[in-house]
Structure 1
């Protein structure tokens, strides 16, 4: 049984590899794929099969998937390119006769107004059309998404957002990595679509207070309108497109798009999800 982890050199991919190895998966049965395989030399030294895979290169996808029984398709980071890129991996998996494809999707991807959802919805539809036995992991927000906010709070004592009263049931990246390892190594997950989120949905006053606790300094929450937020982000150097994208995500949060948690993540993990404060503390190390 060979398990392939795509995008294995990224933050989530490395954590999945670590979790699989910690669960006793033999290194020789793991294949780690990355655009630059040399970045995974430490895993190669442990006996993991390290291969090249560029989502945009269908030939590299076919080569990486050859002989694989299970694959974790970690969603790509190139917004606007992901439908075609994911499609290359899905088609290669179908051609290889993969027995389980696990995909990291977005919360409520097929029905959500989340600005990130359409590419994930299209990918899920492609997986369904392929006929591959699949498990969909609809990952909510990673707490680590607020690493930059922590640094701003450390330096300036302020948390800036246009998310209003929105709530975020975030969990640590390691929580999501561990659940990916669970569904790749235990039975009963084929055909399942899991909505995964942290146990607690926090609001931004709570985030500001938690940042203050972790940093040992006052952190003031500054709520902006969407227009003010775009102007502020542009002023600090973001291009207009990126600033608008950030404001749109915060608008989704403000509208409650992420605010749903039913305990599925902690149930699959067999433990509570990592509290907000604990993950933020690791980011200060």
Structure 2
């Protein structure tokens, strides 16, 4: 039996859908904080269980009978480590045969502040002795395209990445990879650096949006502090704005670039190209 934590989140739902393509619903556990948000999954036969990272007493029952578990990292901006530790402890007690974790690209060496808790979580997993696979996900292309409406309105994307290149991929690509490692054998003990096949700079992103939209859109590179201020001015919490601005600075140093091709090999197809994602975003 497979279990996916955070199963009602954007990534979690896609992992569940990918698993359903090759596995019966009664073999899949959607481990969620709020079961009311997963009624649609239950109606399709997926087993829905409460699993709240911040309430460890829910985790043991959620993992009963589970053989392979995917821990999707908590969406909390900080303080994720105790939550992750609780899931690792519960998985150890449950005796899962494979523990998969969604980490961050090059988490062991990345200068990004976002990588710190991922690195610490990886260390906890190793120390636990669990048979584990680490999925170091690169940047999601959707992260950039969230700013598309504002970029079209103002004629510019803003950031602090300079000419840094993003080997990003679609959330769907990462979801298929996670489902693949759960549903197939031979992944324990491995760490996958998962990234898109084709990298791009933010200036190239702006150029592609210009080409497809017919509107002039440029990339305006800012200092990290100025970009943080733009993000807070747009309504983001200051701590999240700081982490995202820091991630752009890390990207300028190559932290979000990878040309190893592991993601495409794992999912058995080329990763989703930027051009098609821009086209889809413009349609919607």
Question: CA shift at 1:239, angstroms?
Answer: 4.6
Against the structure 1 CA distance between its residues 228 and 11, is the aligned structure 2 distance closer, same or farther, given a 3 Å change threshold? Answer: same
Maintained 8 Å contact 1:143/1:280 = no
Deviations 1:176-220 (A, max 9, x none): 000111111111111110000000111111110122234332112
The residue correspondences of 1:153-164 to structure 2 (distance < 5 A) are: 153-164=151-162
The residue correspondences of 1:1-285 to structure 2 (distance < 5 A) are: 2-22=1-21, 24-284=22-282, 285=284
- TM-score in terms of structure 2 length: 0.95
**Secondary structure in 1 matching 2:258:** coil
- Aligned mates of 2:29, 2:232 — CA distance in 1: 41
Against the structure 1 CA distance between its residues 237 and 49, is the aligned structure 2 distance closer, same or farther, given a 3 Å change threshold? Answer: closer
Against the structure 1 CA distance between its residues 94 and 239, is the aligned structure 2 distance closer, same or farther, given a 3 Å change threshold? Answer: closer
- Aligned mates of 2:233, 2:54 — CA distance in 1: 34
Question: CA shift at 1:233, angstroms?
Answer: 3.1
- Aligned mates of 2:32, 2:278 — CA distance in 1: 28
Question: CA shift at 1:270, angstroms?
Answer: 1.1
Which segments of 5 or more consecutive residues in structure 1 lack a partner in the other structure?
none
**Secondary structure in 1 matching 2:187:** coil
Instruction: Select between 239-248 and 270-279 the one with higher mean Cα deviation.
Output: 239-248
Deviations 1:52-78 (A, max 9, x none): 111111111111111110101000011
- Aligned mates of 1:91, 1:171 — CA distance in 2: 31
Against the structure 1 CA distance between its residues 234 and 13, is the aligned structure 2 distance closer, same or farther, given a 3 Å change threshold? Answer: closer
- Aligned mates of 1:61, 1:195 — CA distance in 2: 28
Q: CA RMSD in A?
A: 1.4
Instruction: Select between 229-238 and 195-204 the one with higher mean Cα deviation.
Output: 229-238
* Corresponding residue pairs, total: 283
Maintained 8 Å contact 2:77/2:239 = no
Question: CA shift at 1:33, angstroms?
Answer: 1.2
Against the structure 1 CA distance between its residues 31 and 262, is the aligned structure 2 distance closer, same or farther, given a 3 Å change threshold? Answer: same
